[in-house]
């Protein structure tokens, strides 16, 4: 199964919550620097960091994931 198919069948494929290690150490990141979320998937880490005030760029090989990111960016 491809990630496109997987994301099409799973609204929150890897959960809604950001990675625990990210939550624990996000305060160490520099808010003056942009963050690149590689393999962002449906954006659980991307949106978490953005809500904290970080500038985040997200990339993923799945077009379904990217469309989900774009759609949820509006929320």
**The three-state (H, E, C) secondary structure of 20-45, written as one string:** HHHHHHHHHCCCCCCEEEECCCCCHH
Q: What is the pLDDT of residues 59-72, one digit of tens each?
A: 999 999 999 898 88
Q: How many CA atoms lie within 13 A of 64 on its CB side?
A: 12
Radius of gyration of the chain (CA): 12
Q: Give the residue numbers spanning the domain of 46.
A: 3-73
- For residue 74, name the pLDDT band (cuts at 50, 70, 90): low
User: What is the value of pTM for the model shown?
Assistant: 0.85
Residue 26 and residue 19: Cα distance in Å, rounded?
10
CATH of the domain at 63: 3.40.50.150
The answer to whether residue 30 scores a pLDDT higher than 80 is: yes
| Residue whose C-alpha is closest to residue 54's, from 27, 72, 74, 21 | 27
User: Which of the two residues, 16 and 58, has the higher pLDDT score?
Assistant: 58
Domain count, the chain: 1
């Amino acid at each position: 199964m491809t990630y496109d198919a997987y994301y099409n069948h799973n609204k929150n494929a890897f959960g809604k919550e950001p990675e625990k290690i990210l939550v624990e150490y996000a305060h160490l990141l520099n808010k003056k620097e942009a963050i690149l979320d590689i393999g962002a998937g449906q954006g659980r880490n991307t949106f978490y960091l953005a809500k904290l005030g970080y500038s985040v760029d997200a990339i993923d090989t799945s077009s379904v994931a990217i469309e989900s990111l774009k759609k949820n960016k509006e929320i």
